Amino acid sequence: MFAMTARLAFIARGFASTAKDIPNLVKQNKVVVFMKGVPEEPRCGFSNAVVQIFRMHGVKYDAHDVLASDELRQGIKDFSNWPTIPQVFINGEFVGGCDILLQMHQSGELIKELEKAGLTSALSSTDNAGDSSKK
């Protein structure tokens, strides 16, 4: 039943459920996440970690539940040539999955990438990553 509910929510929110829509999806928003589940209810630990990282940064992102569509799940893997989910795109460019995003978060590189996309991280003013450059 949950899978059916998730699929209906996926469609009702206007998210595409076909592989042919992926190029437009990654370009329409500055940050796009293809994940298992939805941000309010991630369905795997890696997707949850990505949600938590973006929550810490206070960044809005467009999320797509790959469990709602087999075509979307395989399509995003083919599109990015990356075998795992979640997948993160910033400014239309594939960044990577959970491990890469976590590494970028820890090093401060994520703040820089978000700034390049015109977004301000909630963590940028705290200088947690040791980046002394200011905007």
In a domain, 121, yes or no: no
- Report pTM: 0.80
In a domain, 38, yes or no: yes
In a domain, 27, yes or no: yes
* CA–CA dist 86, 36 (Å, integer): 7
Residue 18 burial class via C-beta count within 10 angstroms: exposed 0-12, middle 13-18, buried 19 and up: exposed
In a domain, 8, yes or no: yes
Grade residue 87 by pLDDT with cuts at 50, 70 and 90: very high
Using a pLDDT cut of 70, give the percent of the chain over it.
80
Q: How many distinct structural domains can be found in the chain?
A: 1
In a domain, 16, yes or no: yes
**CATH number assigned to the domain comprising residue 66:** 3.40.30.10
* CA–CA dist 54, 59 (Å, integer): 6
Cα-trace Rg, the chain? 15
In a domain, 129, yes or no: no
In a domain, 104, yes or no: yes
In a domain, 62, yes or no: yes
Whether the pLDDT of residue 9 is over 90: the answer is no
* CA–CA dist 126, 89 (Å, integer): 24
Structural domain including 42 reads 2-116
State the greatest distance between any 2 C-alpha atoms of the chain, in Å, as a whole number. 50
pLDDT, tens digit, 9 for 90 and up, residues 46-84: 999 999 999 999 999 999 999 999 999 999 999 999 999
Instruction: Show the CA angle centred on residue 30, arms to residues 26 and 33, nearest 5°.
Output: 55
Instruction: Show the CA angle centred on residue 72, arms to residues 120 and 7, nearest 5°.
Output: 90
pLDDT, tens digit, 9 for 90 and up, residues 31-40: 999 999 999 9
- Residue 55 confidence (pLDDT): 96
